[in-house]
Amino acid sequence: MAKPATPSRQTARPTSRLASGATGRVVQLRKGATIEMVRLTCPDEAQALKIAESFGTAILDSDGIRDLHERLIVETATALSDGLGERAMQIHLQRIVGAYVGSAYGAGQFYSKAVTEARDATAKGSADARDEDLDGPVGYDSAAQRKREFAADMGVQAHALRMAAEGAVSAYEQIVGEVWKPFDRPVENSGQSLDRKAAAAQMSAFD
120 part of a folded domain: yes
The yes-or-no verdict on residue 146 having pLDDT over 80 is: yes
Q: Are 3 and 36 in contact (CB under 8 A)?
A: no
Mean pLDDT calculated for residue range 157-173: 97
Range of the domain at 63: 33-181
Q: What is the pLDDT of residue 24?
A: 47
67 part of a folded domain: yes
* Mean pLDDT rounded to a whole number for the chain: 80
Q: What is the pLDDT of residue 183?
A: 78
1 part of a folded domain: no
- Percentage of residues of the chain with pLDDT beyond 70: 66
pTM above 0.85, yes or no: no
5 part of a folded domain: no
6 part of a folded domain: no
Q: What is the pLDDT of residue 38?
A: 96
d(CA 188, CA 27): 10
* pLDDT band at residue 32 under the 50/70/90 scheme: confident
Angle, CA of 187, 193 and 195, to the nearest 5°: 115
d(CA 29, CA 192): 14
Split into its structural domains, the chain has a count of: 1
d(CA 186, CA 194): 13
Q: What is the pLDDT of residue 191?
A: 47
Q: What is the pLDDT of residue 3?
A: 42
191 part of a folded domain: no
d(CA 175, CA 78): 9
The yes-or-no verdict on residue 52 having pLDDT over 70 is: yes
138 part of a folded domain: yes
The yes-or-no verdict on residue 110 having pLDDT over 70 is: yes
Q: What is the pLDDT of residue 111?
A: 96
The yes-or-no verdict on residue 188 having pLDDT over 80 is: no
d(CA 104, CA 37): 9
Mean pLDDT calculated for residue range 46-75: 95
Cross-strand pairs, 17: 29
Phi, psi torsion values for 102, nearest 5 degrees = -65, -40
197 part of a folded domain: no
Cross-strand pairs, 16: 30
